[in-house]
């Protein structure tokens, strides 16, 4: 492993955010280890990403597949679990599949079909979350809530896809109260869908919340929070 000096401020930020996530989990009646922090490293280079992973945050999220293509080969000495948390174009599926442990932002039937096709070629089972556009913002990707029963029924037919839950983001420029209401709506949607979900579909995971609203997301049942900028405050 290449030698490097961990940035003290980065380590301080990581410790603070971990404590805040743990506190929010306990406040919501859960253990801290029931909420996975996905550190969004899209803001930083491979060196800082290495420091984040070396500090114990091994679930790393990138919004652009190209960043995983670039950083992944440089960091193979660390047991990183890469998460694709941004929009995935179908023409990037084949190259991205070998790197990613969980795709959070699956937002169309055509993308589901492409993932199934390429995963079958590789003999790989792909773990995915279905993205829900809970706010209705036209600028955001994701399925409308009303589409979800038919989407899950269709996705369950794909033998090389493992559906693990839902992902969502609060609407643009929402305050904390509105964000929490939207996260609650995602949880309620999951609770409505789960009893009728096919046997091979798990909706256990809810990927909700980012640096500005992870507390509200955890209060509404998030099992994964995607935190980026809070880790890197003051570094640049």
Residue 151: φ, ψ to 5°: -65, -45
pTM above 0.85, yes or no: yes
Going from N- to C-terminal start, the domains of the chain cover: 8-231
- Bridge partners of 103? 84, 128
Q: Of how many residues is the chain composed?
A: 236
Quick one: what percent of the chain has pLDDT higher than 90?
90
Determine contact, residues 225/35, Cβ cutoff 8 Å: yes
pLDDT at 62: 98
**Whole-number Cα distances in Å, 42 to 102, 114, 215, 230:** 16, 25, 21, 13
- Asked if residues 217 and 209 have their Cβ atoms less than 8 Å apart, the reply is yes
Per-residue CA distances from 56 to 25, 49, 182 (Å): 19, 11, 31
pLDDT beyond 60 at 224: yes
Please state the separation of Cα 76 from the chain's center in Å. Answer: 21
Going by pLDDT thresholds of 50, 70 and 90, the confidence category of residue 1 is very low
CA geometry: angle 36, 39, 44, nearest 5 deg: 175
Would the pLDDT of 4 be above 90? no
Q: What value, to the nearest 5°, has the Cα angle with vertex 77 and ends 16 and 205?
A: 55
User: What angle is formed at CA 111 by the lines to CA 155 and CA 229, rounded to 5 degrees?
Assistant: 105
Q: How far apart are CA 175 and CA 100, in angstroms?
A: 32
Contact 112, 161 (CB under 8 A): yes
> How high is the pLDDT of residue 200?
83
CATH architecture group of domain 8-231:
Alpha-Beta Barrel (3.20)
**How much of the chain exceeds pLDDT 70, in percent?**
98
């Amino acid at each position: 492993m290449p030698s490097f000096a961990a940035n003290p401020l980065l380590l301080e930020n990581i410790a603070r955010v971990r404590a805040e996530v743990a506190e929010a989990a306990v406040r919501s009646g859960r253990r801290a280890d029931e909420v996975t922090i996905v550190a969004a490293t899209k803001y930083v280079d491979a060196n800082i990403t290495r420091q984040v992973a070396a500090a114990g945050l091994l679930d790393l999220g990138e919004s652009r597949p190209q960043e995983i293509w670039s950083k992944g080969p440089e960091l193979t000495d660390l047991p990183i679990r890469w998460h694709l948390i941004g929009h995935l174009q179908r023409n990037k599926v084949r190259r991205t599949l070998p790197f990613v442990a969980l795709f959070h932002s699956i937002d169309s039937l055509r993308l589901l079909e492409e993932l199934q096709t390429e995963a079958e070629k590789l003999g790989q089972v792909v773990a995915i979350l279905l993205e829900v556009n809970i706010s209705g913002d036209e600028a955001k990707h994701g399925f409308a809530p009303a589409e979800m029963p038919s989407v899950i029924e269709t996705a369950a037919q794909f033998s090389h896809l493992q559906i693990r839950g839902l992902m969502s983001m609060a609407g643009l420029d929402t305050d904390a109260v509105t964000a929490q209401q939207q996260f609650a709506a995602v949880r309620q949607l999951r609770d409505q869908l789960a009893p009728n979900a096919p046997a091979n579909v798990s909706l256990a995971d809810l990927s909700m919340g980012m640096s500005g609203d992870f507390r509200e997301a955890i209060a509404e049942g998030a099992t994964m929070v995607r935190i980026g900028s809070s880790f890197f405050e003051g570094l640049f």
